[in-house]
A = this chain, B = another copy of it.
Amino acid sequence: MKKQLPWAKKQDNHHRKVRIVRKRNKRPGLPPGTLVYTGPPRTDKVRISVLDFDENTVEESEPETPEDCYDFRDKSTISWINVDGLHDVKIIEKLGNHFGFHPLVMEDLLNTNQRPKIEDYGDYIFIVLRMIRYEKDELKDEQITLIVGDAFVISFQEDIGDVFDPIRDRIRKGRGRVRKMGADYLAYCLIDSLVDYYFTILEKFGDQMEQLEEDITVNPKASILKRIHELKRELMFLRKTLWPTREVLHNFQEIESKLVTKTTAIYLRDVYDHSIQIIDAIETYRDMLASMVDIYLSNMSHRMNEVMKVLTVIATIFIPLTFVVGVYGMNFDYMPELRWKYGYFMIWGVMIAASLIMMAYFKWKKWL
């Protein structure tokens, strides 16, 4: 019976489902602006790391307390403060109060189930995005919040580990333009690497779909349908995060804020184009998966039909023959054929002839 239930094992399936609406620890009805961390409970220490740079100098540090970051607010150099972990609400609160964040910003930041969005608060721009990446071959979804100020970018991540290492490298080694430009360009770089990672994901998808397509042809079994539906759900999930991301990018580029320079806006248009490209690819993949389901189903039903047809034909040939031998098994006193010398052989002849004719007929009708 195991065979019929091919989607019983993979436990991580449930993971993915939960993600659509994550459990919120917050009780409904709490006063808005109440700072409650809504992600999965964690106990490790929150890690803060700072990269402070201008065209000529780079300074890297890992402050122990949020208070150590206070100075970066008013320094003229560009500071990138990265916070790994949101479970220590106090740290967030201290940082937020010092840098002057709106209470709702801080609530949203902690509520790790946000839809990507961008909001302009005048002194800073508040951006929520989702970082999708592979960790041990599984898609991992994490909320990432950017607060872009005049000369600082603060990024909040749910967990340690991200897609930003190449940017850190570029800052350290002064490669590319990032050291020469402002906080908006740094924010652009971060977003760009988030969006760029989707291409990696799409390539993996492409590989899996090629594999699937081959399997449908060479070795079609029930588990394929399950894999198709898993891919479909993952695409659905990517799409759900990408559409609002695209909107964020559009709005970031159009925003009328002194914080975003014209040069950076051109670069943002480029990421925006990438996001459309990715959405395009996702839509195409979805269409392809739908086609695959069709092919798989028609393939399956075709095979089933073939089996049934052949078996039915066999049965159909033997049923009349069985009738014939039944006839001569009757015990009537007077059955002349039984007495003939070659009756037995004649009857064999008749039966062989009949079955050959039937088979020829079936063949001619293309039933066999």
Which residues from chain A sit less than 8 Å from chain B, CB to CB? 1, 4-5, 7-8, 13-14, 17-18, 20-21, 23-24, 27-34, 102, 104, 107-108, 113-115, 117, 119, 163-167, 170, 175-178, 188-189, 192-193, 196-197, 199-200, 202-203, 205-206, 209-210, 213, 217-218, 222, 225-226, 229, 232-233, 236-237, 240, 266-267, 269-270, 273, 276-277, 280-281, 284-285, 287-288, 291, 293-295, 297-300, 302-309, 311-316, 318-323, 325-335, 337-344, 347, 365-367
Q: Most chain-B CB neighbours within 10 Å: which of A232, A302, A309, A347?
A: A302
By secondary structure, the A interface counts as helix
Contact across chains for A29 and B236 when beta carbons are under 8 A apart:
no
Of B240, B307, B344, which is within 8 A of A284 by CB?
Answer: B240
Complex Cα distance A188/B309, Å?
60
Contact across chains for A229 and B4 when beta carbons are under 8 A apart:
no
Contact across chains for B326 and A332 when beta carbons are under 8 A apart:
no
Contact across chains for A240 and B280 when beta carbons are under 8 A apart:
yes
Complex Cα distance A144/B295, Å?
34
Contact across chains for A295 and B226 when beta carbons are under 8 A apart:
yes
- Given contacts A218-B8, A276-B115, A332-B338, whether A281 and B21 have CB atoms under 8 Å apart is yes
Complex Cα distance A269/B266, Å?
27
